[in-house]
Structure 1
Amino acid sequence: MSYYSVGDMAQAYSLRKHNTSLKTLVTTLSEEATTGLKSDVGRAVSGDYTQLSAISRSLDNLESYSLATTEISLTAEMMQNSLETIQDYAISLGPELISIGSSGDQTSVETLSAQGESSLSMIVSSLNSSVAGRFVFSGAAIDTPAVVSADEMYEQVMAYIGGDTTSDGIIAAVNAFFDAPAGGGGYLDQSYLGSDNSQGAVRISENETVQLDLTAAASEIRESLKGAMLARIAANDDNALDLSTRSALLVEGGTVLTATSVNISTTRGKVGAIEETIANTATRNDAEASSLEIARNNLITAEPYETSTALIAAQTQLETLYEITSRLSQLTLADYI
C-alpha cells in the first residue's frame, strides 16, 4: 500500500482554503435564510432573465397605476363631497325659500335671506376645495381656485345689475350674468378662474383611463350659484329693496335651487360611476400585483427548509474544520511517532 505525505505548508493552505469556502457558504446561506431570496439570481433563472424582467416591469407599471388610482380617487371623493354639500343646500334651502318668500312675512324673509347669504359662501367654498394643493373644479388649471370669493362674486353681480331695484330686472340680470357665454362679460369671464379645458384623462390600468371633466363652469354649478345669489341679494341690508321685491327674489332663488338639485344628483351619479370604475380597477390591479409577486418569488425565493438544512450542515462542517485545525496545531513529534 502506498502512502502520500502532505507537507505542513500544503496542509495549512488546504485548511485555510476549506475554511474560506465554508465561511463564504455560511454567509451566503445566512443571507438567503434572512432575506428569503436566492443569492445567485442568475443561477436561479438558469441565466434567462426574460421572465423575471417582464414580471418586474409589470410590477413597476402596476405601482404607477396604484399611485394614479389613489390620486384620482381622492379627487373624485372630494368632488363628490362638494357636490353633496351643494345639493344638500339646494334641497333644504330651495323649498324653504319658496315657502317663506310666498308668505311675505318680513321677519321670516330677513331670516331666510341671511341663510341664503351663508349658503352662497358655502357653495363657493365647496367649489374651491382642493386635494394636495390641486383644485378639483378648476379643470386643467389645478393650481388655481375655481371661483372668486362669495363677496367678490356678489359685487360683480351687483355691478352687472346696475341700479335696477325691480324684481324682474334683478332676476333678468342675474340670469344673464350666470348664463352668459365666454366673452359675454358674465360669470365665465369674471367669476370662474379655472381653465376652459378639463383635467386630462388618467391611466389607471394598461387598457383603461378615467377623466373627471366637471368644472365650476358647468351649467348645474352656475344654476346653484344663481339660486343662492338671488337669496343673497334679497339679504341686502341697505333698504334699497322693498319687501315684495325681496320676497320675489327668494321665491325665484328657491325655484332655481330646487330645480338644479335634480341635475346635481345626476352629476353625482356620473362621478359615482367613475369612483366605482376606479375602485374596481384598483382591486384588479392589486390582485394582478399579488399574482406577479408570487410568480417572482417562485423564481428567486430560497426554500426555507432547504436553506436552513444546508446552513446547519455548513456550520457543522466549519466547526469540525476548526476542531481538526486545533488538534493538528497541538500535534507534537512524539505524538506523531
Structure 2
Amino acid sequence: MKASFVSSSAMQSTLRLTISQSQTKLLQASTEAATGVYSDIGVSLGSGAAKSVNLTNAISLTDALTASNSIVGLRMDASQTALSSLKDAGDTLVSNLTALQAGQDSTSVAVALQAANDTLSQLISTANTSVNGEFVFAGTNIDETPLTDQSATVTAAISSALSDYATSLGKPVNELSGDEITSFITGTIEPMFSESAWTDPANGWSSASSNSMTSRISENETISSSTSANSEGMRYLALASVVISSLFGQDLGADAKSAVASKAISYASQATSGIVTQQSQLGLSQERLEKANDALDARSTLYQGNLVDLQGVDVYEASTLVNQLQTQLETAYTLVSKLQQLSLVNYL
C-alpha cells in the first residue's frame, strides 16, 4: 500500500483561489440582485451590448426632450396667463371709455384717465414677465427687458404736435372738431406706435425681437414657443392708453373728446382682438407640445421595457446565488482557519 501526501500549503493555496473567485462572483451577484441588471453588460450580452447602448442613448434623448419640454410648457403657461390679464385690462378700458362717451363729466373723465394709466402700467409690467430668468415676451432676445415706458416722451411729442396741428388749421386747440382730432390721431399718433417706431433703438418702447422662440419638442418637430411684445395687440393697447392720457389732458371741446374716446375704443378693441390671436397661436403650440409629450412618454416606456428585457436578470436567482456564495465563503474561511491551526507539535 502506498501513502499519498498533500501539503497544507497546497490546500491553503487552493482555498485562497476558491475564496478569491467566490468573492468576485459574490460582488457580481450582489450587484445584479440589487440593480436587477447584469453587472457587466459587455460580458453578459456580447454583441447585444451595442443594442443596449442604443436603447440607453434613446432613453437619455427622450428624457432630455421631456425635461426641455417642461421648461417650454412653463414659459407658454406664463405667457397665456399674462395675455389673459392684458385682455381683461383691455376689456375694462373699453368699458370705461364707453361710459365716457355717454357723458363727459369730471368723474367719468377722471375714471377714464385712471383706467388708461392703469392699463399702460399693467402692459409694461406684464410684458416684462420672466420665467427662469428669461423674458417670455422678448422674442429671441430672452435676456433683454422687453418694454420701457416712453409715455412721458410720447405725450410731450403729442402735445407739441397737436399745437402745431391746430395752428396749421388756423384755430385754437379747443375749437378742433371731432373729425379734425380723428385725423390728427390717425395721421400723427398712430404712426408713433408702428412696429418700426415701437422698436426704434433710440426712442422706441421695445427691446424685444419680433421673432418668436423656436423649440424642439421631439426628434423631428419644432414649435413656435413664445410671442413678442412687438405684437399688434400690445402696441395698440399702449396706443389706446396714450391717446386717452395725452389728449384728455388737452383743452378739447366736447365733440373732440367724444371722437378721442371713440378712437381709443377702436384701438383697445383691436388690441384685445390681437391678444386673443396671440393666445390662439400659443394654444396651438401648447396642444402640439402636449401630444409630443404623450408620444415621448410612450416611447420611453417602450424603450425601458426593451432595455429591461435585454439587460434584466432574475433577481430571485441572483439572491439565491448570493446566499450560496456566502455559505461557500464561510466554509472556505473555516477550512483555512483549521489548516492554519495544524502543527506537528500537536502530534509529538
Q: TM-score when scaled to structure 2?
A: 0.84
**1:282 pairs with 288, 293, 310, which one?**
293
1:200, CA displacement in angstroms?
A: 4.5
In 1: Cα distance, 2:182 partner to 2:266 partner: 15
Secondary structure at the counterpart of residue 272 of structure 1: helix
Match of 2:154 in 1: 156
| More deviation, 136-145/211-220 | 211-220
4+ aligned runs moved over 6 Å, structure 1 = 334-337
**2:281 pairs with 235, 260, 270, which one?**
270
In 2: Cα distance, 1:107 partner to 1:200 partner: 44
Deviations 1:168-211 (A, max 9, x none): 365232212113x52xxx32322222224x13422111111101
1:161, CA displacement in angstroms?
A: 5.0
In 2: Cα distance, 1:214 partner to 1:325 partner: 76
Structural mapping, 1:106-255, within 5 Å = 106-149=106-149, 152-164=150-162, 165=173, 167-168=181-182, 171-172=185-186, 173-179=188-194, 182=196, 186-189=197-200, 190-196=204-210, 198-212=211-225, 214-234=227-247, 236=249, 240-242=250-252, 244=254, 245-255=256-266
Q: Quick one: structure 1 residues 161 and 137, their matched pair in 2 at CA, closer, same or farther if it must change by over 3 Å?
A: farther
Match of 2:73 in 1: 73
Structure 1's unaligned 5+ residue stretches are none
CA RMSD of aligned residues (A): 2.6
Q: Quick one: structure 1 residues 316 and 154, their matched pair in 2 at CA, closer, same or farther if it must change by over 3 Å?
A: same
| Counterpart contact for 2:65–2:218, Cα < 8 Å | yes
**1:297 pairs with 308, 311, 324, which one?**
308
Deviations 1:251-272 (A, max 9, x none): 3222321343233223211211
| Counterpart contact for 1:210–1:274, Cα < 8 Å | yes
| Counterpart contact for 1:95–1:255, Cα < 8 Å | no
In 1: Cα distance, 2:23 partner to 2:11 partner: 18
1:96, CA displacement in angstroms?
A: 2.3
Structure 2's unaligned 5+ residue stretches are 163-172
Matched, 1:315 2:337: no
Secondary structure at the counterpart of residue 204 of structure 1: strand
| More deviation, 22-31/321-330 | 321-330
Q: TM-score when scaled to structure 1?
A: 0.87
Secondary structure at the counterpart of residue 46 of structure 1: helix
Match of 1:96 in 2: 96
1:31 corresponds to which letter in structure 2?
T
Secondary structure at the counterpart of residue 39 of structure 1: coil
In 1: Cα distance, 2:155 partner to 2:108 partner: 24
Q: Quick one: structure 1 residues 212 and 329, their matched pair in 2 at CA, closer, same or farther if it must change by over 3 Å?
A: closer
2:37 corresponds to which letter in structure 1?
L
1:46, CA displacement in angstroms?
A: 2.3
| Counterpart contact for 2:226–2:282, Cα < 8 Å | no
Deviations 1:236-265 (A, max 9, x none): 4xxx43463555433322232134323322
In 1: Cα distance, 2:4 partner to 2:21 partner: 25
Q: Quick one: structure 1 residues 38 and 87, their matched pair in 2 at CA, closer, same or farther if it must change by over 3 Å?
A: same
Match of 2:167 in 1: none
In 1: Cα distance, 2:248 partner to 2:5 partner: 113
In 2: Cα distance, 1:255 partner to 1:169 partner: 14
1:333, CA displacement in angstroms?
A: 5.6
1:37 corresponds to which letter in structure 2?
V
| Counterpart contact for 2:33–2:316, Cα < 8 Å | no
Q: Quote the sequence identity (%).
A: 24
1:293, CA displacement in angstroms?
A: 2.0
In 2: Cα distance, 1:123 partner to 1:243 partner: 29
1:201 corresponds to which letter in structure 2?
T
| Counterpart contact for 2:231–2:274, Cα < 8 Å | no
Matched, 1:45 2:45: yes
| Counterpart contact for 2:55–2:303, Cα < 8 Å | yes
Q: Quick one: structure 1 residues 212 and 333, their matched pair in 2 at CA, closer, same or farther if it must change by over 3 Å?
A: closer
